[in-house]
Amino acid sequence: MGHLIDIQHLKKHFGKLAVLNDVEFHLDKGEVVTIIGSSGSGKSTLLRCINLLEMPDAGAIYYEGKDVLQGEIDVNQHRTHIGMVFQNFNLFNNKNVIENCMIGQMKVLKRSKKEAEEKALFYLDKVGMKDFAYAGSMQLSGGQKQRVAIARALCMDPKVLLFDEPTSALDPEMVGDVLNVMKDLAKEGLTMIVVTHEMQFAKEVSTRVVFMEQGVIAEQGTSEEIFGNPKTESLQRFLSRYRNQQN
Amino acid sequence: MQFIETAWGIFTKYSILFFSGVKITLLLAITGTVFGLMIGLVVGAIRAISLEPRSSKFSRICKKVIDWVLTVYIEFFRGTPMMVQSFFMYYGLKSIGLNWTPIVAGIVIISINTGAYMAEIVRSGIQAVDKGQTEGARSVGMSHLQTMFYIIIPQAIRNSFPSIINEFIVNIKDSSVLNVIAVNDLYFQGSSVAGSVFKYTETFFVVAMIYLCLTYPTSKILGYIEKRMANTTGKVGA
């Protein structure tokens, strides 16, 4: 049967640098896929191609069986199905917390103000930020911002949620809060792709771990396979570097 | 003291003329700044568009042509004196049959002139907004226009607020050049008073003081707002 997302022969260059070099990847409903790999391996670019923030140079991205790179697809419509959480939060600075969660619902999904507000409060409650609903978005700490950003994405009822290194810009003591929210979402069966450097998190929540190296997927499998029995030499090296850092 | 007394005498005697001049000057400065800002927002927003890689060749060519036209507009109106522009436009358009009054012509000219400056102010304001704001908006499915309208432009106006008010101050003063097409603003009234009492120094001292009374409070208010904005940065909507 068809995958929810099916990526074939995806290529992306930045100038002469090949960031994605013939990537094959697929995602099924309910999966929690973490993508690991060293910086510059193409993890974030792959993620950004999936919701078309980055346009690939070649290849195909099928979403529910339709190639989103072919002309007829409405990019904005596509992005409502695929939510995104950024490393730097990207909350709207001119909006308060609840407005951040409402504007997309009202302007893109054309929901009524009341419906948007209810939904926003529901998800803000879920990420533990309901008390801050009317605070300015720039008054929040990094961890709080990121939880609001997750609520903002959830408000659009996405089929898939993409996380681009969601904890990399956070102070260490904030990381736990955000990861806990993500763990809850994973438990509830939300389909997620998470680019991360948090190996412990990847180990705990992933239904599948993908290791990228030099613009291709070098190895993938369950977290037991990837962390317990890495096959490729590059993954072994990558993991041992991580262990050394932690000791 | 004699000088001040004479000036005061001129002021009280001709205050009706001076005040009618002030009204016209403020009318020009306010409408010029407001319409100029509107023009600037549209032009600046168009110039700040960067086309997506997959947009068609046709839209690329359109964008290039529009950009070129807008650049010509901005460079022409920023690169020539407003006095020359007003002669050129007022008499030029009159000669091809547009029968407009000096005051209407004045408002149009100062608006178009201010628009050229505002366009650059708005454009740099837009470019100063963090790219992440656009990505955040696009990621929830907002179109380019929605992103501009709801997210980017409000922040750009906020960023460039001091420059926008500064344009207003400039307009209070520079509207005086419109006297060349017989717009009866403060300067125009001043020179006719000076001509009839034959005391140029005293009269223009009065005129200068009145201009100062218009600009100084404005720049004080601006300073106050800027200070408040600096203190409350990030508390928008709170």
Q: Is B53 helix (H, G, I), strand (E, B) or coil?
A: coil
Task: Determine the Cα angle at A21 with ends A16 and A27, to 5°.
Answer: 140
How far apart, in whole angstroms, are the C-alpha atoms of residue B163 and residue B64?
A: 28
Task: Determine the Cα angle at A62 with ends A58 and A66, to 5°.
Answer: 115
User: Residues B37-46: pLDDT tens digits?
Assistant: 999 999 998 8
What end-to-end distance do the CA atoms of chain B give, in Å?
Answer: 54
Residue B146 at interface with chain A, using a CB cutoff of 8 Å:
yes
User: Residues B87-97: pLDDT tens digits?
Assistant: 999 999 999 98
Under 8 Å between Cβ of A129 and A151: yes
DSSP string, A208-240: EEEEEETTEEEEEE-HIIIIIS--SHHHHHHHH
What pLDDT, on the 0 to 100 scale, is given for residue B81?
Answer: 95
Token digits for A212? 């990228």
Flag residues of chain A having pLDDT under 50.
none
Interaxial angle between packed helices B102-127 and B15-48, expressed in degrees from 0 to 180 and rounded to the nearest 10:
40
Residue with token string 């990420």 = A127
What pLDDT, on the 0 to 100 scale, is given for residue B19?
Answer: 94
Task: Quote the number of domains for chain B.
Answer: 1
Chain A residues lying within 8 Å of B139, measured CB to CB: 51, 53, 79, 83-84, 86, 90, 153
The Cα of B48 is separated from the nearest Cα of chain A by a number of Å equal to 18
User: Can you give the residue range of the structural domain that contains B103?
Assistant: 2-237
Among B131, B139, B160, B232, which would you mutate to test the A interface (most chain A Cβ atoms within 10 Å of its Cβ)?
Answer: B139
CA dihedral for B44, B45, B51, B55, sign (positive or negative) = negative
Confidence of residue B238 (pLDDT cuts 50, 70, 90): very low
Mean pLDDT to the nearest integer, B124-128: 92
CATH number at residue B101: 1.10.3720.10
How far apart, in whole angstroms, are the C-alpha atoms of residue A235 and residue A241?
A: 10
User: Residues B30-68: pLDDT tens digits?
Assistant: 999 999 999 999 999 888 887 766 677 888 899 999 999
